[in-house]
Amino acid sequence: MELGVLVYRLYRALTYGVSPFIHLHMRWRRLRGLEHFRRWHERFGHPSAVRPPGSLVWFHAVSLGEGMAAVPVIRRCNEMKPEMTILMTTTTLSAFEVIRKQLPAGVLHQFAPLDTPVAVDRFLGYWKPNAIIIMENELWPNLIMSAALLRIPLALLNARMSTKSFKRWSSPLFLPLASLLLSKFSLIAPLSSLQGIHFQLLQAPPFVINFSGDLKYVVNKFHVSSGTSESIRDLKAQLSEMKVWIASSLHKGEEEVILGVHNLLLQSHPDSVVIIVPRHPHHGQQIAQKLRKDGQSVALRSRNEKLTSQKTNIYVVDTLGELREFYRVAPIAVIGGSFLPWLTGHNVSEAAAAGCAVITGCHVGHFSHMVEAMQQANPLSITQVSSKLELKEAIDMLLSNPEILEARQRACKEVYESLSSCIISNIWNLLNLHIFRGR
């Protein structure tokens, strides 16, 4: 523990020393549109809202996936403790744009402070949280140590650590620091037994590790929809006589796999249409631009373009926050982030919740536990492929056999319902026992 304290003191001194350069870097990010133009000062702990009197719990998530996983827990806390103020922080702009529409009325949002001593101390000094709930894998030393010094209970929900992060924290230099930081938590709820083992190997106290299930299963149960938009209903009408499949959460390079498969499928299914949903909207615009340059007809979502011509069989979604609606348009969902060796998968439960037949590549990394759990529950629930040819054959079989497609859709939906039941209740019970008791 003494070595961990020494490493932390070095980290604190380093982050204090580089603070002026971090400030310049954040100004540069703001000019590039990577930080909120007006609220970027929140990243240095400066508040832009008034703290209400009474108890306050702070939920923190970095990006969209973690933030959406936190929303059902926030809703339950809001129901069970209506007198308690909830503060939600995120880091990325994309998370802010989508999550703010999902939060219950009265929940405050700020951008998260950088992990520098001044920003963290300023943030904690103003908001004075009675508890801090961190999503997934955010082990920021200054935040954790400052909270512990102020005796603020800490929880880590849906706790996970990538193989790369685990190796880094397990190294002789960082293991003492990891052990010190994890000792400050009152609750660590890993998203799988493997992740629980990771935290035990990093010397987290065994009594704070409690299992509740993966929160990403329940995002869809608590998602607030503004209703199916008129443009989505129009798209459904345009596709009513077509064979539709969707390829979602695509990273750069994966569109080549998907478009290659689409061109092969057109030979046997000339009435097929693929909906392409890249991970980032600007990537969608790049895909559409390249396809048009190559002489192909493509419809772009942001321009509300229609599939008016029979030659238009590619629909590119370059917007945020609409993926769930598009899963209801297509009966077959191919989940990206899984077709190139350096990728680590994406949440397959969103498509399962919508009743899609789900196909994914073999590079599922962070979501391997989810894929394995679904396959163990019912092998028909999710299909994994390891090549472009296997992907083409899997989609071809579903497009050619309505009975098989219906069976896969039903299996996927049933497994999702089974795996997602009781997770929020489990999480609430753990929070009430370890974090909120007596508060």
User: Which amino acids are annotated catalytic?
Assistant: 66
Cα(155)–Cα(57) distance, integer angstroms: 11
* Of residues 179, 173, 111, the one with CA closest to residue 144: 179
* Strand order across the beta sheet in which 154-159 lies: 108-111, 85-90, 56-60, 131-135, 154-159, 187-190
329 contact partners, CB below 8 Å, separation of at least 6: 232, 235, 236, 239, 244, 246, 275
Rounded to 10 deg, the angle between the 64-80 and 423-434 helix axes is 70
Element at 299 (helix H, strand E): strand 299-300
As given in the structure block, the two tokens for residue 330 are: 């297509």
Q: Are 320 and 310 in contact (CB under 8 A)?
A: no
Q: What SS3 class is residue 355?
A: coil
Angle (CA) 128-12-90 rounded to 5° is 50
* Placement of tokens 């990891």 in the chain: 178
Angle (CA) 347-348-350 rounded to 5° is 85
Beta-sheet pairing, 357-360 with 382-384:
parallel
Q: Are 320 and 98 in contact (CB under 8 A)?
A: yes
